[in-house]
Amino acid sequence: MADRLEITSDLIEYVCQHGTRETVPLEKLRRYTQSLPEAEMRVPQEQGQLLHFLIKTLNAKKVMELGVFTGYSTLWMASALPEDGRLIAIDKRKDWKDLAESHWEEAGVRSRIDFRVGRAERTMQDLLAAGEEGTYDLVFIDADKKSYTTYYELALRLLRTGGIMVFDNMLRLGDVIDPAVSDPAVDDIRLLNRRLNEDDRVIISMLPFSDGLTLVLKTT
């Protein structure tokens, strides 16, 4: 059947109820985050479950996240890691650091998370300089949208062959197909979408999921 299902709020609620396994700490953090003025920055519940699934599928032990906010997506991913797993969580702001860490602690995964405050590009360059090229299993990118193409090249170097990048907001609420819209974030996402489609170093899958999610598998 070629017809595409229209996704309604009721269907999303059904997916969350039947297609995710949100723990008590995750639910508490999600509900608190939803009460914040910046709540639209939160990763949706079903997307958190997908990140968790991908980490389990990869048997990942080393993960990176660009853009942490209150740490909801971080908690989903850290919960999928083994006890000796490591998640480098990078955010340029520390506004919600205490909130995030208290929920990570409650969930028993705080020791797996290395939270770093600063510019993602600089932190990634520092990791490369420290010899961590080709050592990451998964990189989730949900930070400064106008720097996505920069993050892509750095993440490609940090990922091992067979590792996965996950880019959020790749449809930018539909702005990517509106010729009347031009701003640095939308322009950079459009550029990255074209580049990913043509780059033979990777295999991609763009999903019309949430605000657009692109999975990038490093093949070489």
Residue 5 pLDDT = 86
pLDDT at 2: 61
Count of domains in the chain? 1
Q: Is residue 2 part of a domain?
A: no
**Could you tell me the residue range of the domain that residue 32 belongs to?**
9-218
Give the Cα separation of 62 and 69 in Å (integer).
Answer: 20
pLDDT of residue 17: 96
| pLDDT given for residue 174 in this prediction | 93
Pairing of strands 213-218, 202-207: antiparallel
Per-residue pLDDT at 59: 98
Query: Does residue 171 sit within a domain?
Result: yes
Q: What is the CATH number of the domain that holds 124?
A: 3.40.50.150
Question: Considering the domain boundaries, does residue 39 fall inside one?
Answer: yes
| In a domain? residue 22 | yes
Residue 206 domain flag:
yes
User: Domain for residue 4, yes or no?
Assistant: no
Q: Say what the pLDDT of residue 216 is.
A: 98
Q: Do 99 and 70 form a contact (C-beta atoms < 8 A)?
A: yes
Residue 3 within any structural domain of the chain: no
CB-side neighbour CA atoms (13 Å) of 59? 1
**Alpha-carbon distance values, 170 to 28, 55, 97, 212 (Å):** 28, 21, 26, 5
Average pLDDT of adjacent 10-residue blocks, the chain of 220 residues: 81 95 96 92 95 98 97 98 98 92 97 97 98 98 97 98 98 94 95 97 94 96
Distance CA 202, CA 129 (A): 23
1 assigned to some structural domain: no
